[in-house]
Amino acid sequence: MLMHLISLYLATYVCNALPVKNEYQHYLELNEVKSFREYVQIDTSKEENLKYAVDFLIRQATDIGLPYAVYAPAGRPIFVATLTGDDPTLPSIMLNTHMDVVPVDEREWLYPPFSAHMDENGDIYGRGTQDTKDVAIQYFEAVRRLKKDNVTLSRTLHLTVMSDEEGGGKYGIKAFIKTPEFKALNIGFALDEGLASRNETLFATYVDRRPWQMEFVVHGEGGHGLAMPDESAMEKAQRLINAVMTYREAQKEKMKSKTRTEFGQLTSVNINMINGGLAPNIIPSSISLVVDMRLSTTADIQEIQSLVDSWIHKAGNNTDVRYLRRDTVSEYTAVNDTNPYWVSMKNTLNNMGMKIIPVVCPATSDMLVLRNLGIPALGFTTKTNTIPRLHAKNEYQNVKTFLDGIRTYTELIKNLGNVPHEQQTSSKCGV
């Protein structure tokens, strides 16, 4: 009897002492999660690695049974996979994402930024987990499910994956829209990346802020570090910085009365790069600063230009500016009953028990280019209860959030693919 009790005690002790398996561990065996992690593990912050992303996308399309094409009108790849609808003459649905991601400083990350490491909470870390490799995989997996279930779509779907979105689109969508291959897609509506939500509310972005990215170069007297010349480049740079930061503080003050979803209604400005100097004992003869502005939807172009000109004047003579990007127009897509695609999206999500609200995109996406062509386009993502970390350290997405998103996209795409042809809409509509 005593030996039996001892055996029971030891068995209980051993069981309790064994490590409990991570409750999220089994998700790593799902093909959807494997694909997501593999895609994130491709470091597409480097242009030379885009070819590996294309190889990955080709495998995805081939596995699902989708015909595909790869274009490079400006030297960088653009991937298009297609699911043909029952009526190919109808304007098609474009499901757009981008394969490129912004660079990282690995020293700031909890885990290697291209490892797609999943922690004990089920959070998958990596550059692109929010912006925007998740959405590409969710599109593919949603289409896979629609095909498996023999769902009929009247409209053709095009899964498009751009490069150079992060660089402004010069080598991506801006080049692609000029090609006959793009025109042949016959796009009637486009869906693209959206905003992560800290709660259960979903967002639809219907207009992007206009980006102005400027490189200022101030010139002054250089020389030996022992001297203190008048009108040095650093003095001019300081005056320029002060002018920009004064405007920035005024905008920050206005933001205090706004919610996070209203930030897109204001103009933001940041000095993101400063370069100058050759050695510790040489006074630099020039210093460059890169300023990133995102213009509010109501900002007057002439007023903004006058503001920039005033910064140059305050910096002083021999100050140059080069516009890296200067978008003056950003059209709206209607988010009311005149837009059947918006109605389909809203009804689909509401019927699934979800709330969606239209907001201004505080950043800039490829959809700005499409809307300016007159193509209705909305930004959307399923990342709820997620801390937004686009372009930030420790970008992540929870594995369950990712998988739930596939289910949401499956319903959404099914209904968008069957929007009746009776009504068409343009991006150039009111809210």
pLDDT tens digits along 186-199:
999 999 999 999 99
Across the range 296-300, mean pLDDT stands at: 94
* Residue 283 Rama label (left phi>0; alpha psi -120 to 50; beta): beta
Taking the C-alpha atoms of residue 406 and residue 205, their distance in angstroms, rounded to an integer, is 20
The model's confidence at residue 4, banded by pLDDT at 50, 70 and 90, is very low
Residue 331 in marked binding region: no
Q: 3.90.480.20, 1.20.970.10, 3.30.70.360, 3.30.110.70: which CATH number matches 210-326?
A: 3.30.70.360
Mean confidence (pLDDT) of the chain: 93
The model's confidence at residue 224, banded by pLDDT at 50, 70 and 90, is very high
Task: Determine phi and psi for 40, rounding to 5 degrees.
Answer: -65, -35
Q: Are the C-beta atoms of 297 and 360 separated by less than 8 Å? A: yes
Residue 4 in marked binding region: no
The contacts of residue 204 (CB under 8 Å, 6+ apart) are 194, 335, 342, 345, 356, 357, 358, 359, 378, 379, 380
Select from 312, 305, 345 the least CA-distant residue to 328: 305
Residue 313 in marked binding region: no
pLDDT digits (tens, 9 = 90+) for 85-108: 999 999 999 999 999 999 999 999
The contacts of residue 378 (CB under 8 Å, 6+ apart) are 190, 191, 192, 194, 204, 205, 206, 333, 335, 341, 342, 345, 367
Q: Are the C-beta atoms of 222 and 283 separated by less than 8 Å? A: yes
- Domain ranges in the chain with CATH number 3.30.70.360: 210-326
User: Which whole-number Å values give the CA distances from 296 to 153, 260, 261, in the listed order?
Assistant: 38, 14, 13
pLDDT digits (tens, 9 = 90+) for 13-45: 433 433 435 789 999 999 999 999 999 999 999
| Direct distance between the N- and C-terminal alpha carbons of the chain, in angstroms, rounded to an integer | 80
Across the range 378-382, mean pLDDT stands at: 98
Taking the C-alpha atoms of residue 234 and residue 232, their distance in angstroms, rounded to an integer, is 5
- Output the 3-class SS for 194-234: CCCCCCCCEEEEEEECEEEEEEEEEECCCEECCCCCCCCHH
Side chain identity at residue 140, one-letter code: F
pLDDT digits (tens, 9 = 90+) for 159-170: 999 999 999 999
Taking the C-alpha atoms of residue 69 and residue 48, their distance in angstroms, rounded to an integer, is 19
- Domain ranges in the chain with CATH number 3.40.630.10: 25-208+330-416
The residues annotated as belonging to the active site are 100, 165
Taking the C-alpha atoms of residue 5 and residue 400, their distance in angstroms, rounded to an integer, is 42
Cα torsion angle, 94, 71, 85, 66, sign: negative
pLDDT digits (tens, 9 = 90+) for 330-377: 999 999 999 999 999 999 999 999 999 999 999 999 999 999 999 999
* pLDDT exceeds 70 at position 1: no
Select from 212, 205, 255, 184 the least CA-distant residue to 367: 205
Q: Output the pLDDT for position 104.
A: 98
β-bridge partners, 295: 210
Helix (H) or strand (E) segment spanning residue 35? helix 31-40
User: Does the predicted TM-score (pTM) go above 0.85?
Assistant: yes
Taking the C-alpha atoms of residue 176 and residue 373, their distance in angstroms, rounded to an integer, is 13
Q: Output the pLDDT for position 258.
A: 80
25-208+330-416, CATH topology level: Aminopeptidase (3.40.630)
Taking the C-alpha atoms of residue 82 and residue 143, their distance in angstroms, rounded to an integer, is 10
Pairing of β 92-98 and β 356-361: unpaired
